[in-house]
């Protein structure tokens, strides 16, 4: 009697070759961008260690120190303007990142993504580690750390346009919002892992808080070189369709699971699709990408949404440390709750936008809800541990949900817009424009926080709430258009 096939093997063989490659690409790109964000997080954890309350630290008896106020600080961050200096470091990274992002998309369209990502991750690892080596080399020059931040910011721009373009090469629309919402959790996962890893070393040898993440992202760069497959055609898989068309009847789900024989039966249609894609593979111009409907509105919305998100990314641990009086490790661990909420928020935003078809409306509603929640968190968020946890999770979901949706599903939708007639190479440029504009906000937020925080944390939160409201306003026309579409279908 022949034994039945093992359940695990039946599950494995039930997926087509195309599906396996798509899942593998999704996993690899998730891993890569997790490493990118993991290497950005340590600076926010280490800030509270570079400038400490020295009066609460036990001073070694054998140290001959005359200044009791600053003996445990790391020069040059031992001065009263230390918050401004931290803002300078943040801005060096973020301004370089914003400028480089507009250029990165152009290179991402014209260079092999595997080489581009591999070099970017290796160089990001190098500069992240060099920042940490300043501890062991006893470097106290602001210029050194600022230069490292600028170079790291430029290298980090290789990541986002390349991974989104790679995912866009493999996946059609289908349930793009949900799948990319789950996939985009790499941002929060990277922030959480970066916080936890940096927290292990921050109180003993803060240099290792940078060196270990630097080694991790460099290792993923090597992994990328050996295993990334950029396009389905490279391994004889069928390419996805990116836009709906009445003539060809686009109904392909995001994760195609049909057997190979079905693709053979429909080989004529697949060949026609491939020819269409080949005909439109020229790189799109910058101005051409701006003319795609919705690109300008979502870009400006992301500018203010990312301003809020990155202010929390860089300043939340210090805020918690100052207000709740936690030490550096405890504040860093507590800040991961904001990112955990961001994972849930990104997935929920994708699910709702898939179900309703209203990307702009979903972002708008979450941004409207985020503004009062930020006020409530600043007012009562530190009253008890339970309140702190609940407010961090809620604010993280509402702040990062729209940010996640715009940078993933919205960017992919616009980069494969039907007006492009199948030109999927536009995806990298469109993604770079949207995220590059958002990165301007990411640079402004931490800088403004550094300038405003000496006047009181309340003023920082007023600035964040104002930015949230402005993000809503830029979506108003698109929300109105989506509402008109729903009303039209209801009357029909």
> Is position 198 within any domain?
yes
pLDDT digits (tens, 9 = 90+) for 269-283: 434 434 444 444 555
Q: How far apart are CA 274 and CA 107, in angstroms?
A: 24
Helix spans in 111-237 (H): 113-136, 142-156, 159-170, 176-183, 186-201, 208-227
Contacts 24+ apart (CB under 8 A), 198-203: 198/41, 198/42, 198/45, 198/46, 198/332, 199/45, 199/328, 199/329, 199/332, 199/333, 200/329, 202/45, 202/46, 202/49, 202/328, 202/329, 202/332, 203/49, 203/327, 203/328, 203/329
Please give the mean pLDDT across all residues of the chain: 80
Q: What are the Cα distances from residue 297, in Å, to 163, 303, 465, 473, 476?
A: 23, 10, 19, 9, 9
Query: 401 or 79: whose pLDDT is higher?
Result: 401
Q: Is the pLDDT of residue 32 over 90?
A: yes
Q: Both tokens of residue 377? A: 């968190």
Residues 53-75: what's their mean pLDDT?
A: 62
Write down the pTM of the prediction.
0.73
pLDDT given for residue 80 in this prediction? 79
> Is position 280 within any domain?
no
Peptide bond into 311 cis (omega under 30): no
Q: Is the pLDDT of residue 226 over 70?
A: yes
pLDDT given for residue 286 in this prediction? 66
pLDDT given for residue 308 in this prediction? 93
pLDDT given for residue 272 in this prediction? 40
Q: How confident is the model at residue 2 (pLDDT cuts 50, 70, 90)?
A: low
Q: How far apart are CA 187 and CA 189, in angstroms?
A: 6
Residues 296-313: what's their mean pLDDT?
A: 90
pLDDT digits (tens, 9 = 90+) for 405-441: 888 778 767 765 565 555 555 666 777 788 888 888 8
pLDDT digits (tens, 9 = 90+) for 460-490: 999 999 999 999 999 988 898 888 888 877 7
pLDDT digits (tens, 9 = 90+) for 324-356: 777 777 888 888 889 889 889 988 988 888 888
Q: Which residues contact 306 (CB under 8 A, 6 or more apart)?
A: 403, 438, 439, 441, 442, 445
pLDDT given for residue 276 in this prediction? 41
pLDDT given for residue 267 in this prediction? 42
pLDDT given for residue 278 in this prediction? 42
> Is position 245 within any domain?
no
> Is position 267 within any domain?
no
> Is position 188 within any domain?
yes
Q: How confident is the model at residue 238 (pLDDT cuts 50, 70, 90)?
A: confident
pLDDT given for residue 60 in this prediction? 59
Give the three-class secondary structure for 53: coil
> Is position 270 within any domain?
no
Q: How far apart are CA 79 and CA 76, in angstroms?
A: 7
pLDDT digits (tens, 9 = 90+) for 85-137: 888 888 899 889 888 887 887 776 778 889 999 999 999 999 999 999 999 99
What is the domain extent for residue 33?
Answer: 16-53+79-228+288-491
CATH code for position 404: 1.20.1250.20
> Is position 265 within any domain?
no
Q: Please tell me the least confidently modeled range out of 62-66, 207-211, 215-219, 423-427.
A: 62-66
Q: How confident is the model at residue 54 (pLDDT cuts 50, 70, 90)?
A: low
pLDDT digits (tens, 9 = 90+) for 252-271: 333 333 344 344 334 434 34
Rg value, the chain, Cα = 24
> Is position 437 within any domain?
yes
pLDDT digits (tens, 9 = 90+) for 162-214: 888 888 788 765 556 677 778 888 888 998 899 889 989 988 889 999 999 99
pLDDT digits (tens, 9 = 90+) for 354-380: 888 888 899 999 999 999 999 999 888
pLDDT given for residue 83 in this prediction? 79
Number of compact structural domains in the chain? 1
């Amino acid at each position: 009697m022949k034994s039945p096939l093992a359940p695990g093997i039946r599950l494995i063989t039930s997926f087509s070759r195309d599906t396996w490659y798509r899942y593998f690409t999704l996993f690899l790109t998730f891993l890569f961008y997790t490493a990118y964000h993991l290497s950005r997080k340590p600076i926010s954890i280490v800030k509270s260690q570079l400038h400490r309350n020295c009066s609460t630290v036990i001073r070694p008896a054998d140290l001959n120190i005359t200044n009791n106020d600053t003996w445990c600080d790391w020069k040059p961050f031992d001065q009263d303007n230390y918050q401004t200096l931290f803002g300078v470091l943040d801005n060096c990274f973020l301004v370089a990142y914003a400028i480089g992002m507009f250029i990165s998309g152009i290179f991402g369209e014209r260079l092999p993504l595997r080489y581009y990502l591999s070099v970017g991750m290796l160089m990001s690892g190098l500069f992240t580690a060099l920042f940490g080596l300043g501890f062991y080399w006893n470097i106290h020059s602001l210029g050194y750390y600022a230069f490292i931040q600028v170079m790291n910011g430029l290298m980090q721009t290789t990541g986002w346009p390349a991974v989104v373009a790679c995912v866009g090469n493999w996946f059609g629309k289908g349930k793009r919002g949900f799948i990319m919402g789950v996939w985009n959790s790499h941002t929060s996962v990277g922030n959480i892992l970066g916080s936890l890893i940096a927290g292990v070393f921050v109180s003993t040898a803060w240099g290792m808080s940078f060196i270990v993440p630097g080694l991790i992202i460099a290792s993923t760069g090597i992994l990328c070189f050996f295993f990334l497959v950029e396009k389905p055609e490279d391994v004889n898989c069928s390419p996805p369709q990116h836009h709906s068309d009445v003539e060809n009847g686009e109904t392909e789900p995001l994760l195609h699971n049909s057997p190979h024989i079905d693709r053979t039966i429909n080989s004529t249609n697949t060949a026609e699709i491939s020819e269409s894609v080949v005909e439109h593979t020229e790189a799109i111009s910058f101005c051409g990408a701006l003319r795609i409907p919705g690109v300008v509105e979502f870009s400006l919305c992301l500018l203010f949404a990312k301003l809020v998100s990155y202010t929390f990314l860089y300043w939340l641990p210090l805020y918690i440390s100052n207000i709740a009086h936690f030490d550096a490790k405890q504040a860093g661990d507590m800040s991961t709750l904001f990112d955990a909420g961001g994972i849930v928020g990104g997935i929920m935003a994708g699910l709702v936008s898939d179900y309703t078809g209203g990307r702009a409306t979903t972002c708008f509603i979450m941004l409207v809800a985020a503004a009062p929640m930020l006020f409530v968190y600043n007012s009562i968020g530190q009253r008890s541990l339970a309140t702190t946890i609940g407010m961090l999770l809620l604010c993280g979901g509402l702040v990062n949900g729209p940010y996640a949706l715009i940078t993933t599903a919205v960017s992919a939708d616009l980069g494969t817009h039907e007006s492009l007639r199948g030109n999927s190479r536009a995806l990298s440029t469109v993604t770079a424009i949207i995220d590059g504009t958002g990165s301007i906000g990411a640079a402004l937020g931490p800088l403004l926080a550094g300038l405003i925080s000496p006047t009181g944390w309340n003023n920082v939160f007023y600035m964040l709430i104002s930015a949230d409201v402005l993000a809503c306003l830029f979506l108003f026309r698109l929300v109105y258009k989506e509402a008109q579409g729903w009303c039209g279908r209801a009357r029909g």
